[in-house]
Amino acid sequence: MKRTTLSTIFEFSRLVALSLALAVNTSAFAQKQAAKAAGPQQARLVLGVNEGGSGSASATDIVFRYEEFRQIVEKALGTLVILAPVRELKALRNSLETGAYSLVLLRPADIAAEAVRDYGYQAIVVSKEPAYTLFIVNKDSPLKTIADVKGKSIVTPERYGYQWRVASAMMRDSNISIVKEQVRIMLDQAAIGWSMESGFYDVGVVSTFSAVGRTWEKNGGRVIARTPELPNTPLIASPKISAAQIRKLRAALVPIESTESGVAILKKMGVAGGFKEASSQTFIDLIKWLGDMETPKN
């Protein structure tokens, strides 16, 4: 009986794996055929998607996660849209510089801000749920404000990544240089929370879109500093996208949460609360505040 059960589970798992592989291959084939059929006369837009430097989703995961979103964009513009997952931040920056993507949905707002400032990209929408960067301490910590972190052990996400840059700017505003402090790096914000709970560090830096950031105070921890409201999950457009096309995208995306199917799409993408219209000036102000990345002087 046990062998029969195991055999059934194995067979089911094998069928699921085959179905997923077939779905991926079929989707890729369909996109290639559509692009071929479209011919050189029909415009094709590339939608790049990046979930941040510490995002763990594979390219296949991203394709499945954002496929319905891609379809909404395609329908709004009446143009073939190809989804392009991009995981590495260096590749993302290079693609923005060269204009490889017509549209980009991304998590690191500093990279979006650089694209707006340096390459003429325009902000279309952002998540209605703003992001914040938090400096967290344990309940019994003697630290009260960000000024107290000087000389303390600090753990942050990826070095020179978005959260690190935000933390650097916040410390700079309190006359503290991040590169002169005892800073350790953990890519996984869940690991930052665990290490803080275990007493390995005095201060942790996390974002509110992480599970740790959302629950730290609820679980008894304290927040000694937080940023003002920061843009979250922006969709930006390259200069090749017209003002009329931007208006069409906003008209399609801002009310997306008004339907059950739209709510399901947002949940699948991890965008809480839907989208709202974004201003490019917000990103100009953000990158101005962040300033140049502070790096160790040799």
Helices and strands (DSSP H and E) totals, the chain: 10, 11
Residue 250 and residue 72: Cα distance in Å, rounded? 11
Strands 203-207 and 133-137: antiparallel
Per-residue pLDDT tens for 79-94? 999 999 998 888 999 9
Query: Rounded to 5 degrees, what angle do the CA atoms 113, 254, 83 make?
Result: 65
Report pLDDT digits (tens) over 220-236: 999 999 999 999 999 99
Task: Report whether 95 contacts 101 (CB < 8 A).
Answer: yes
Half-sphere exposure of 55 (CA within 13 A, CB side): 22
Residue 298 pLDDT exceeds 80: no
Q: In what order do the strands lie in the sheet with 235-237?
A: 80-85, 44-50, 103-106, 235-237, 122-127, 275-277
Could you tell me the pLDDT band of residue 187, with boundaries at 50, 70 and 90? confident
Asked whether the beta carbons of 283 and 231 are under 8 A apart, the reply is yes
The Cα–Cα gap between 63 and 21 comes to: 13
Question: 59-77 and 260-269 are packed helices; what angle lies between their axes, rounded to 10 degrees?
Answer: 140
Q: Mean pLDDT, the chain, as a whole number?
A: 86
Tens-place pLDDT, residues 39-74: 444 578 999 999 875 556 788 999 999 999 999 999
- pTM of the predicted model over 0.75: yes
State residue 245 phi and psi, 5-degree precision. Answer: -65, -35
